């Protein structure tokens, strides 16, 4: 039998569990997740291998109506991924049952691409089974989905069934990436994202959305098993800088400690993490700043 492969875009409204699902598929965390919407800002490749197949997943930012430049660029990159893949995996959660505007937009895009599309209804651990069947029925009337699979990305229920549904739709093709490669993102990117995730968990209101993180330097001392990381947290105003630092530096310390512990776990190294906070005025609405910060 020939080798099977394909690119699969994971798309959907914000906060439905797309990144959680990517991590579940890979059995390893490469994409950050949080209870706040608009967590993912870049497309992230995650590569899954079996002896006879390779699935290249693309996690994307949630598609939503927006005016801000940052969010527009996020939505653009999510939509663009539809044109670049072989299969579309649309993730929704029960709350979208009322066919939100976001979902309508996505379904319209799906119809236009005419590519194989599978819907995963996520977070079934939160709902009663009786509510699920009518939902599946109403979605199956949409006629642009090849299959609908209820799952819990967080706990794993249904994820193997979903993987099999995807595998059935792969085509004979090459191994696009070496089997030991997990993602296309650099260590700098992954570390900056971990720091950003901790900001999403620790801070409130506009602060997560006004923050961006860049790793400035990364040095590994293998003799001492030590990774030294210098990273900058960019915010948009001086008042936000104060909030990120917190009273007596308590906030930045908490963000730093949480990030360091996770980086240590992932890289199996001791980590020395130094965080700086800088103001880059209105970076989220400046094309130049967005480009510089990787968006």
Ligand X SMILES: Nc1nc2c(ncn2[C@@H]2O[C@H](COP(=O)(O)OP(=O)(O)OP(=O)(O)O)[C@@H](O)[C@H]2O)c(=O)[nH]1
8 Å CB contact between 213 and 233: yes
For the bound state, the minimum distance from the C-beta of residue 40 to Mg ion, rounded and expressed in Å, comes to 3
- List beta partners, residue 45: 58
Distance of alpha carbon 249 from alpha carbon 237, whole angstroms: 17
Stretch that binds Mg ion, among 38-46, 81-89, 108-116, 157-165 (CB under 5 A): 38-46
14 binds ligand X (CB under 6 A): yes
15 binds, among Mg ion, ligand X, none (CB under 5 to 8 A by kind): ligand X
Give which of 268, 198, 191, 283 is closest to 230, Cα–Cα: 191
Residues 14-33 that bind Mg ion (CB under 5 A): 18-19
* Residue from the set 8, 16, 89, 233 that interacts with ligand X by CB under 6 A: 16
Q: How many CA atoms lie within 13 A of 241 on its CB side?
A: 13
> By rule CB under 6 A, what string of x and - marks binding of each residue 106-135 to ligand X?
----------------xx-xx---------
Considering only CA atoms, give the Rg of the chain.
20
Among residues 59 and 252, whose Cβ is nearest to Mg ion? 59
Stretch that binds ligand X, among 14-22, 44-52, 229-237, 259-267 (CB under 6 A): 14-22
> By rule CB under 6 A, what string of x and - marks binding of each residue 24-53 to ligand X?
---------xxx-xxxx-------------
260 binds, among Mg ion, ligand X, none (CB under 5 to 8 A by kind): none
The DSSP H or E segment spanning 37 is none
Among residues 16 and 191, whose Cβ is nearest to Mg ion? 16
40 binds Mg ion (CB under 5 A): yes
16 binds, among ligand X, Mg ion, none (CB under 5 to 8 A by kind): ligand X
Q: How far is CA 108 from the centre of its chain?
A: 22
The helix/strand/coil state of 203 is coil
For 90-146, the DSSP string reads EEEEGGGGGT-HHHHHHHHHHHHHT--EEEEEE-GGGS-HHHHHHHHHHHHTTS--S
Chain contacts with Mg ion (rule: CB under 5 A): 18-19, 39-40
């Amino acid at each position: 039998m020939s080798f099977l492969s394909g690119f699969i875009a994971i798309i959907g409204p914000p906060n439905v569990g797309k990144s959680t699902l990517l991590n579940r598929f890979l059995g390893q965390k490469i994409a950050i997740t949080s209870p706040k919407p608009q967590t993912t800002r870049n497309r992230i490749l995650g590569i899954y291998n079996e002896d006879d197949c390779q699935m290249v997943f693309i996690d994307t930012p949630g598609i939503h109506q927006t005016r801000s430049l940052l969010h527009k660029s996020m939505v653009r990159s999510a939509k663009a991924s539809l044109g670049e893949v072989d299969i579309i995996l649309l993730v929704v959660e029960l709350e979208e049952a009322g066919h939100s505007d976001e979902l309508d937009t996505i379904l319209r895009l799906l119809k236009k691409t005419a590519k194989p599309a599978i819907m995963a209804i996520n977070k079934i651990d939160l709902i009663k089974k009786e509510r699920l069947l009518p939902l599946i029925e109403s979605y199956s009337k949409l006629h642009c989905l090849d299959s609908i699979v209820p799952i819990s990305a967080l706990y794993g229920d249904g994820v193997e069934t979903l993987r099999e549904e995807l595998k059935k739709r792969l085509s004979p093709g090459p191994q696009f990436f070496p089997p030991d490669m997990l993602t296309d993102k650099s260590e700098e990117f992954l570390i900056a994202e971990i720091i950003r995730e901790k900001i999403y968990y620790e801070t409130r209101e506009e602060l997560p959305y006004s923050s961006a993180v860049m790793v400035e330097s990364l040095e590994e001392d293998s003799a001492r098993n030590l990774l030294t990381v210098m990273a900058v947290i960019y915010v948009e105003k001086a008042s936000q800088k104060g909030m990120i630092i917190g009273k007596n530096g308590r906030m930045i310390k908490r963000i730093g400690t949480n990030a360091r512990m996770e980086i240590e776990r992932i890289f199996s190294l001791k980590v020395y993490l130094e965080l700086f906070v800088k103001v880059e005025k209105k970076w989220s609405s400046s094309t130049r700043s967005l480009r510089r910060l990787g968006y």
